[in-house]
Chains A and B, each alone.
Chain A
Amino acid sequence: MEIPYTYKPRPDTGLYNAKVGIWLFLASEIMLFGALFSSYILLRVQAPMGEWPKVAGAWPQGLLNIPIGTFNTAVLITSSVTVVLAWAALKMNNFKAFRRYMVVTLVCAFGFLGIKSYEYNEKFTHYELRLKSGEAMTGHLEVNGKHPGFWDFGSIYNLARLEKEKVTEIKFTADPVKPKSGEKHADSASHAHEAKTYALGDIAKLDAFVLRNHTFFAIYFVITALHGLHVLGGALVLGYFAFPGSSMWKSNPEQFTNRIEVAGLFWHFVDLVWIFLFPVVYLL
């Protein structure tokens, strides 16, 4: 028994099965990310007005690293171009060029993930400090003479944990306060870069930029992590086709080319999600 149209297009629809399948799958993916983007909008719209961290619960803006985000966007777009070139190379019967372009695609994919994890690490080691006096700031934490880092696992602190470990005081290096446009450099900004010591009793809230801290971080991490998983999944599939799975090129070149096309469609979708994600979470 053979299933019709596995790689030959059906005459009246002009499509082979996998292409119909992937488009349907992408439709469902649009609904998945659409729901997450809608959640983002709703959470942001209902957040109180004001400037974070001064106003607790306000929507933080400008926290994410725009140059790095821009670079990552370029990386992902490049990989989208190379995956098309790889497919075109197969169409032109040039297997060597196909493999070359696939390698570039994979390098871009893993490069993107590497840069993203660097960004994550930056966030996990960045802290919000809120004093009982009402003062609020962001900056870097020093506990027992050590800067907690993400890589020594489980070293993300919050107030409850410091209390549990019977820490009495912490050092905190506040970020320079960004001057508002029209305002002159405030004096406070110049000496903000020095570490100050705070007694634990004066602190109302201390937490890293992690999911539990704020709904902004929560939605940011969930959407980007889900997108990252899509990148990883896509990269694994493309990697399989580029190396172990490429033996099909000899037995059934037409089906193999179709496989690259279908995987490429998914890859473009992943790219497209990022193209929406970047302005929404970094720029707006």
Chain B
Amino acid sequence: MSTATSHPNSAAHEHAVEHHHEPGFWQKYIFSTDHKMIGIQYGLTSLGFLLFGFFLVMCMRFQLANPGAPIPVFGRLLEAILGDTAKGGVISGDLYNSFGAMHGTIMVFLAVVPLAFGAFGNYVTPLQIGAPDMAFPRLNMASYHLFFWGGVLMLASFFVPGGTAKSGWTSYSPLATIAEFEKPFNGQTMWLIGMVTLITSSLLGAVNFITTIIQLRARGMSWMRLPFFVWAQFVTGFLLLLAFPPLEAAGVLQLADNLFHTSFFLPNGLVISGQQLPVSGGGSPLLWQHLFWFLGHPEVYVLILPAMGVVSEIIANNTRKPLWGYKSMVYATMSIGFLSFIVWAHHMYLTGMGTKVSTFFQTTTMMISIPSVMILTALFVSLWGGSIRFNTPMLFALAFLPMFGIGGLTGLPLGFNASDIYLHDSYYVIGHFHYVVAPGTIFGLFAGIYFWYPKMTGRYMSEILGKIHFWFSLIGMNLIFAPMFVQGIKGMSRRMADGGTTYFGADDIALTLNKSITHAGVLLALAQIPFIINIFMSIRTGKKVENDNPWGATTLDWATPTPPPHGNFTSEPVVYRGPYEYSAPGAKLDYLPQDKKP
């Protein structure tokens, strides 16, 4: 077992010492074709974006709680960078819209998906199936670089005259086109170009992942011996592969609307500030919404499935029991994959698309909750009778279950046409999907970071810092998102930059909640500091792992040296059994690794 030398921080050191068969700095850290390095690249970049997206929303939260007050600490900096839209450090309405649009875009497309699919998928999938690398290593590198430059384009759009995209992360037409109609090259256009780049990146990634899982499984690794994590990544790959292209098409069409003044999504007789818009009309704003949500809904499962995969691995490992109902979980995942393609219009009940269409999508939406509940139930039942090890990864994985449960169940009233008409576009919706993604998916991914960190570096992350991170994040998250249900049911719209002061009585409980939510946001921000310290400090000072399989896990990722070298395995792995043979009767250890000869 080698010590931790291959982490990005020691780049300068590695560069100085010329090894004979080791590639140079650029080859090793920037243009690497090794799936593990690409996974780490994805991980660090997306964690950076996660932090940035969080910063944007903290500015928004401050503005909601204190309308018109300058942002403390960062206000001056914002004014210096963004100019008049942040005059005196106060977030203007325009800037609030921009931040809202970019928070959504960054969190979904640049932070959570790349972390869940790009980072964990890249690092763990080939290890778990016993492959030396991805099927197309250079394509893998290209997909990271496209992701990176797509992100750079998104960030650069802040500096375009007129500011970045401000039509929401959904970029609804006609607003997205008419917001800056006179200047065809605006922030929205940059946003679209960035999106097309990101979509291309995830398409290449998806092709690569699916091919790898089909073709590079080790000998004996039959489909039903795949760890559940791999199954989750496999279905996610198909979602990305088939759901993203319609958005790419829509992006190209909206780009034409912005640049060439076509009317794909612009209806007849559109008037802005008393003047008829000089376009031909004849397009359909609903078309954009259909194309967008055709991606948008499978995207939700792209966000949640990899987290479910991570959580399943950790729960099986720390309860020391096989997953309960592994096969039904696999079939449930496949059903989710299929059904997620036919539920998209439940985002559009209020568009006037007709009650018959609504009824269809309401039915499919209720159907898709069944496999989701199956997976969640299987994970809960897996806990039964286990002697649980409460380490940091397990705490995050355990918290994932009720948090995702709350997120999922609060989605049901939104899936029903009748109740959605009342709740639509209110804070209830924000509370619902943030419960799914923030304390749901992101907790799952935090769990994964704590769990696989010893494999990546050869050292554990600090348990004390990890537990501080966990408990304060859990409290912070709930104090932020639970009150939003109350605000939403009271009818507070999600789009108001002043937090609803012009709409509610100032003594209203909803406005008081704005303040408490912002305080909870600060708590959540502070809770991330131990995590950031932990992730960098533990590279040098963390407790060293005792052996290559410190958690006593069964899957092949723990059968490699630590950290895994180029090519991963010292000898070709052969699989003899299913993925979760824990506490098998009669075994010497309490687990039987997949590659242990019977």
Contact = CB atoms under 8 A, between A and B. Distances in A.
Interface of A: 1-5, 10, 13, 15-18, 20-21, 24-25, 27-29, 31-36, 39, 42-43, 46-47, 57, 160, 210-215, 218-219, 222, 226
A209 to B, nearest CB: 12
A29 B245 contact: yes
A10 B218 CA distance: 11
Contacts of A15: 215
Contact of B264 (A210, A213, A219): A219
A222 B262 CA distance: 10
Contacts of A28: 203, 206-207, 241-242, 244-245
A211 B256 contact: yes
B246 A215 contact: no
A213 B280 contact: yes
Interface residues of B, number: 46
Interface string B208-250: 1011001110000000000000000000000001111110111
B347 to A, nearest CB: 17
14 contacts: A3-B132, A3-B133, A16-B215, A21-B139, A27-B241, A27-B242, A35-B245, A36-B249, A46-B284, A57-B281, A160-B278, A212-B261, A215-B263, A219-B264
* Top-4 shortest CB links A-B: A1-B567, A35-B246, A32-B245, A35-B249
Given A20-B215, A25-B207, A31 B242 contact: yes
Contact of B249 (A32, A160, A215): A32
A32 B211 CA distance: 20
A90 to B, nearest CB: 22
Nearest to B207: A24
Contact of A39 (B132, B287, B567): B287
A53 to B, nearest CB: 12
Nearest to B246: A35
A282 B284 CA distance: 23
Contact of B133 (A1, A34, A226): A1
A273 to B, nearest CB: 13
A31 B216 contact: no
Contacts of A212: 260-263, 279-280
A34 to B, nearest CB: 7
B27 interface: no
B242 A39 contact: no
A21 B208 contact: yes
B358 to A, nearest CB: 18
Contacts of B136: 17-18, 21
Contacts of B517: none
Given A4-B132, A28-B244, A39-B264, 12 more contacts: A3-B132, A17-B215, A21-B135, A21-B136, A25-B207, A28-B206, A28-B207, A31-B244, A34-B245, A47-B282, A215-B264, A218-B264
Contacts of A16: 215
Given A3-B135, A27-B241, A42 B284 contact: yes
Nearest to B566: A1
Contact of B256 (A2, A4, A24, A218): A218
A10 B215 contact: yes
B294 interface: yes
A279 B398 CA distance: 56
A213 B284 CA distance: 16
Nearest to A16: B215
Given A24-B207, A222-B256, A43 B282 contact: yes
Contacts of A18: 136
A166 B301 CA distance: 57
Q: Which of B207, B208, B268, B280 has the most CB of A within 10 A?
A: B280
Contacts of A25: 203, 207
A31 B260 CA distance: 24
A221 to B, nearest CB: 8
Contacts of B566: 1
B8 interface: no
Interface string B113-143: 0000000000000000001110111010000
B283 interface: yes
Nearest to A32: B245
A211 B294 contact: no
Contacts of B131: 3-4
A37 to B, nearest CB: 9
B513 interface: no
Interface string B197-211: 000000100111011
Contact of A222 (B137, B241, B252, B291): B252
Contacts of A10: 215
B222 to A, nearest CB: 9
A237 B211 CA distance: 21
